[in-house]
Amino acid sequence: MRFVILSVLLLLPNLSWVEASEKNETRTASKLPNIIIVMADDMGFDDISIRGAREFLTPNIDALAYHGRLLDRLYAPSMCTPSRGALLSGKYPIHTGTQHSVILNEEPWGLALNATLMPEIFRDAGYSTNLVGKWHLGFVRPEYTPTYRGFDYHYGYWGGYIDYYQRRSQMPSDNYSMGYDFRRNMQVECTDRGVYVTDLLTNEAERIIREQPAKEQPLFLILSHLAPHTGNEIDPLQAPEEELQKFVHINDPNRRLYAAMVSKLDESVGRVITALARTDQLENSIVIFYSDNGAPSVGIFANTGSNWPLKGQKDSPWEGGLRVAGAIWSPLLKARGNLFTQPIYVGDFLPTLAHAAGIELDSSLHLDGIDLWPQLSGPKDAPHVPREILHQLDDVGRMQSLLLGQYKYVNGTTSKGQYDQLLTYRKLDDLDPRASIYGMAVRNSAVSKELASFDIQQITQDRIDILSRSAAVICSDMQRGCNALLEECLYDLSTDPCEQNNLAYSKQHSEILAIMRQRVQQLRSGAVAPGNRPNERDADPSLHECTWDNFGVKAPCAGK
Ligand SMILES: *[C@@H]1O[C@H](CO)[C@@H](O)[C@H](O)[C@H]1NC(C)=O
Ligand SMILES: *[C@@H]1O[C@H](CO)[C@@H](O)[C@H](O)[C@H]1NC(C)=O
Ligand SMILES: *[C@@H]1O[C@H](CO)[C@@H](O)[C@H](O)[C@H]1NC(C)=O
Ligand SMILES: *[C@@H]1O[C@H](CO)[C@@H](O)[C@H](O)[C@H]1NC(C)=O
């Protein structure tokens, strides 16, 4: 008798595993996959530890990649507004009027209203659609705001950034007053003031995930974090004191704060995965983590983030601004635990995830993004799709940046060329106390604990070493400089991922240069006018009970 009970107990873990895998097969047949996108704001390319940095660790984000796929060459426009616009519309910024700079809170414009957005498409397919956190695609009038653009629900802020505790912001330009910016749908939300915003947004994401099963609808959730963007001008980097204590080994006080901010973000990814697991939704979910653009290492909103060894940063035409940290996990991916090495653009997520959800997209959408679901979800060595990505075509800022196959064309740059170089290096001292047990830290992370049950093979120390090594970017040692302010630059990213060797004067490359130049002209002829509008005094929070509120009662183009 005793023996029988014992053997049943021993069998239990196996039994529950079989049960779980059977459940996912019956569920996937009857239910569309949940889509969860966790977005970081201004996080550096090298600030996820899977790339090899050991100053601070991101075990949860890394675990998503070790159990899923590191999006090794994920590209996004190099600033918040165009990047978020490309994600939601599946179009290049030149097709939604967001190609120049960002929307400042006091400017009366937004993402073109005639673009159909991802949340509208998923809502029409039966999803409940939720945005938690940042919007930054305009709020001059209600119709520009999230709940008018396909989200059933929004909890968060409309503008570019807020203070991590006070949830208010002052714009860098002119003399607009400080304004509170936090809402639940259209209502100003004042409760929980003083709670660290990364925790606050994660609490809300957890609540939505917990309450989802009762709705009997698939979940579409974008958790759009503030972290690690700066919070305000006087006190730009903010983290809870107890989190900061974990990083006393980092000497630079700003970098120490940044590490603590990223650590809270990493914890958020862990909490999201745990919440999905506890409610049996993980087995039918697609989870993506990524940063909207590269880190601003220097200049306005500088947060000490590192895009090493890539050149440039946020708001520049270089890889450091465009090639972003990202990973995807889902049991629907056949090949997991490897690098996805094909170039993928944030604008690809719309058609790619629509395919995963069996949604047929109308060709009248005229998307620039392409469906990469067969490659993402298919075998590890799926052939690369020949690819063009228009990174930038900003004739106000006089800058063009285009990827075509292995080549990258850059003409013009930002901030008088101040960001046209490598801006950070990887610290080899100030190591995280967990650096020597990195593999264990990953395996003990909340994410790894949940995702391990979906794997046939365990993630061993060997596998971690191999993947981490293959995620390291190796720069070429060939060097021929280029001054993008004065001349066109051409790089072969297949041998020169760090853009150090200008090929624009190489005879051998004159043909590809001419093709790319011509292609930019072609794309230019299809661009809509930039939507930017000058400041409006009516936006001042002092006129709206100290909040950033809808301030344009008239249509922007209607006569005054
Ligand atoms: C600053 O504010 C004052 C009054 O509120 C206004 O008259 C002035 O034009 C503003 N300055 C700028 C540069 O906007
Ligand atoms: C179900 O889960 C198992 C692991 O638990 C995984 O191997 C399988 O691919 C999943 N099947 C589907 C259809 O999602
Ligand atoms: C390159 O930049 C120059 C100077 O701004 C501009 O005149 C030219 O049209 C640009 N080339 C392309 C292909 O856009
Ligand atoms: C969509 O709106 C933009 C800006 O509001 C405009 O320039 C563009 O022509 C419109 N596109 C279509 C297809 O109506």
Which residue minimizes the CA distance to atom 9 of ligand 3? 521
Identify the active-site residue in 80, 482, 489, 498. 80
Ligand having the closest approach to the CA of 26: 2
184 bridge partner residues: 155, 187
H or E, element range at 469: helix 461-470
Q: How far away, in angstroms, is 80 Cα from ligand 3 center?
A: 24
Would the CB of 508 count as within 6 Å of ligand 1? no
Would the CB of 527 count as within 6 Å of ligand 4? no
Q: How far away, in angstroms, is 415 Cα from ligand 1 center?
A: 26
Residues 6+ apart with CB under 8 A from 522: none
Would the CB of 114 count as within 6 Å of ligand 4? yes
Closest to 286 in 3D by CA, of 128, 69, 52, 104: 69
C-alpha span between 151 and 208 (Å, rounded): 13
Which residue minimizes the CA distance to atom 2 of ligand 3? 411
Read off the pLDDT of each residue in 360-367 and give the average, rounded to a whole number. Answer: 97
C-alpha span between 95 and 90 (Å, rounded): 10
Rounded (5°) CA angle 362-380-339 = 95
Q: How far away, in angstroms, is 175 Cα from ligand 1 center?
A: 6
Would the CB of 542 count as within 6 Å of ligand 1? no
404 SS3 class:
strand
CA 292 to chain centre: 4
Residue 136 designated active-site: yes
Would the CB of 364 count as within 6 Å of ligand 4? no
pLDDT of residue 172: 85
Between the CA of residue 504 and those of 78, 406, 477, what are the distances in Å? 23, 14, 17
Q: How far away, in angstroms, is 210 Cα from ligand 1 center?
A: 48
pTM over 0.85: yes
Read off the pLDDT of each residue in 165-191 and give the average, rounded to a whole number. Answer: 94
Rounded (5°) CA angle 339-343-348 = 110
Closest to 50 in 3D by CA, of 468, 428, 469: 468
Q: Are 272 and 453 in contact (CB under 8 A)?
A: no
User: What would you measure as the largest C-alpha separation in the chain, in angstroms?
Assistant: 88
Would the CB of 317 count as within 6 Å of ligand 4? no
CA torsion sign for 8, 14, 15, 16 is positive
CA torsion sign for 198, 330, 442, 271 is positive
pLDDT of residue 554: 55
C-alpha span between 292 and 134 (Å, rounded): 11
Q: Are 261 and 4 in contact (CB under 8 A)?
A: no
Token match 């700003």: residue? 254
**Class assignment of domain 2-6+33-471?**
alpha beta
Would the CB of 251 count as within 6 Å of ligand 3? no
Q: Are 68 and 328 in contact (CB under 8 A)?
A: yes
Tell me: pLDDT of 171 over 50.
yes
134 bridge partner residues: 157
Would the CB of 30 count as within 6 Å of ligand 4? no
φ, ψ (nearest 5 deg) of residue 425: -135, 165
pLDDT in tens, 495-534: 999 999 999 999 999 999 999 999 999 999 999 999 999 9
Ligand having the closest approach to the CA of 109: 4
Q: Are 324 and 292 in contact (CB under 8 A)?
A: yes
φ, ψ (nearest 5 deg) of residue 498: -100, 5
Read off the pLDDT of each residue in 330-346 and give the average, rounded to a whole number. Answer: 97
Would the CB of 465 count as within 6 Å of ligand 1? no
Would the CB of 518 count as within 6 Å of ligand 3? no
Q: pLDDT confidence of 560, banded at 50, 70, 90?
A: very low
**In this structure, what token pair is assigned to residue 6?**
């014992």
Tell me: pLDDT of 30 over 70.
no
Q: How far away, in angstroms, is 145 Cα from ligand 1 center?
A: 27
Residues 6+ apart with CB under 8 A from 375: 340, 342, 382, 384, 385
Residue 80 designated active-site: yes
Which residue minimizes the CA distance to atom 3 of ligand 4? 112
Closest to 87 in 3D by CA, of 136, 153, 155: 136
Residues 6+ apart with CB under 8 A from 4: none
Would the CB of 94 count as within 6 Å of ligand 4? no
Closest to 560 in 3D by CA, of 521, 533, 523: 533
Residues 6+ apart with CB under 8 A from 25: none
Would the CB of 392 count as within 6 Å of ligand 3? no
Token match 């790894």: residue? 448
Tell me: pLDDT of 146 over 90.
yes
**In this structure, what token pair is assigned to residue 186?**
């259209």
The percentage of residues in the chain with a pLDDT greater than 70, rounded to a whole number, is 93
Rounded to the nearest integer, the mean pLDDT of the chain is 93
Q: How far away, in angstroms, is 168 Cα from ligand 4 center?
A: 32
Tell me: pLDDT of 242 over 60.
yes
Ligand 3, from 94, 390, 398, 485: best to mutate by most atoms within 8 Å of Cβ?
398
Q: How far away, in angstroms, is 215 Cα from ligand 2 center?
A: 24
Would the CB of 112 count as within 6 Å of ligand 4? yes
Ligand having the closest approach to the CA of 31: 2
CA torsion sign for 408, 412, 414, 418 is positive
Question: Pocket residues for ligand 2 (CB within 6 Å)?
Answer: 20-21, 24-25, 28, 283, 331-332, 454
Ligand having the closest approach to the CA of 542: 1
Which residue minimizes the CA distance to atom 1 of ligand 1? 175
**In this structure, what token pair is assigned to residue 179?**
């304004």
Identify the active-site residue in 67, 95, 100, 136. 136
The residue ranges of every structural domain in the chain are: 2-6+33-471
φ, ψ (nearest 5 deg) of residue 386: -55, 135
- Return the amino acid letter for 410: V
Q: pLDDT confidence of 553, banded at 50, 70, 90?
A: low
Q: How far away, in angstroms, is 205 Cα from ligand 2 center?
A: 25
pLDDT in tens, 90-141: 999 999 999 999 999 999 999 999 999 999 999 999 999 999 999 999 999 9
Tell me: pLDDT of 21 over 50.
no
Tell me: pLDDT of 278 over 60.
yes
Residues 6+ apart with CB under 8 A from 226: 41, 133, 134, 157, 161, 162, 164, 197, 198, 201
Ligand having the closest approach to the CA of 401: 3
Closest to 221 in 3D by CA, of 182, 295, 273, 166: 273
- Which of 8-22, 261-275, 457-471 shows the lowest mean pLDDT across its residues? 8-22
pLDDT in tens, 47-78: 999 999 999 999 999 999 999 999 999 999 99
Which residue minimizes the CA distance to atom 2 of ligand 1? 175
Tell me: pLDDT of 240 over 90.
yes
Tell me: pLDDT of 9 over 70.
no
Closest ligand 4 atom number to CA of residue 97? 4
Ligand having the closest approach to the CA of 504: 3
Which residue minimizes the CA distance to atom 8 of ligand 1? 175
pLDDT of residue 8: 40
